[in-house]
Amino acid sequence: MSRISRSNGVAALLAAAVLVLVAIAATVPTEAVLVVEDAETGKQYLTEPVADGSTVGLEYMHSVEKSRVYDEYRVDDQTLVNTRMEFESYGWGLPARVNVTTVDGMLVYEPSEPIAELQRLSVSPGRTAGHTLIVDDRRYDLVAATNASDVRIHIEQRSLIERIL
């Protein structure tokens, strides 16, 4: 009888250890995702997998100049590093006192040092501006996805359990 009780106890102990290991493994961050969430409510509109080195772009029509603007960011851990700007003409909010090159009719600013390193990027998608979010090669109509609501864009680490849920 004691042998059966002892083996049941060992089996229960092993089962508990396996459950603890599974619980720990399920909560350890396994992937990075780009999150687009409502600036006021935190409601998530988009989540897209990213990796270090992924590119995140915002393309829109400049409100005054009525010309295309493209801002590019590189994912660096949980930071968005602004690495490039493309624009068709100079206007309010665009770099006027920096060295730019012209590539296919676009003015391109690629700084030797990052323009900014951001934990969160705030964007007000506009119907006139027509904001498009580009994650690597995937394009999203940011205005339609958010109903033109102010958003925060940032990187989060997700665990296996968060991925499943």
Distance between CA atoms of residues 126 and 148, nearest Å: 6
Summarize pLDDT for 58-85 with one digit per residue, the tens.
Answer: 999 987 778 899 999 999 988 999 999 9
Distance between CA atoms of residues 118 and 72, nearest Å: 12
Q: Which backbone phi and psi does 128 adopt, to 5 degrees?
A: -70, -40
Which residues of the chain have a pLDDT value below 50? 1
pLDDT score for 63: 76
Residues in the chain: 165
Task: Specify the amino acid at residue 129.
Answer: A
pLDDT score for 117: 76
Distance between CA atoms of residues 37 and 46, nearest Å: 7
pLDDT score for 97: 76
pLDDT score for 77: 87
Q: Which residues in 148-164 are b (16+ Cβ under 10 Å) and which e?
A: bbebbbbbbebeeebee
pLDDT score for 100: 86
> Parallel, antiparallel, or unpaired for β 44-50 and 79-87?
unpaired
**What CA dihedral angle connects 148, 40, 37 and 140, to 10 degrees?**
0
pLDDT score for 90: 72
Q: Look up residue 34 and give its two tokens.
A: 């780009």
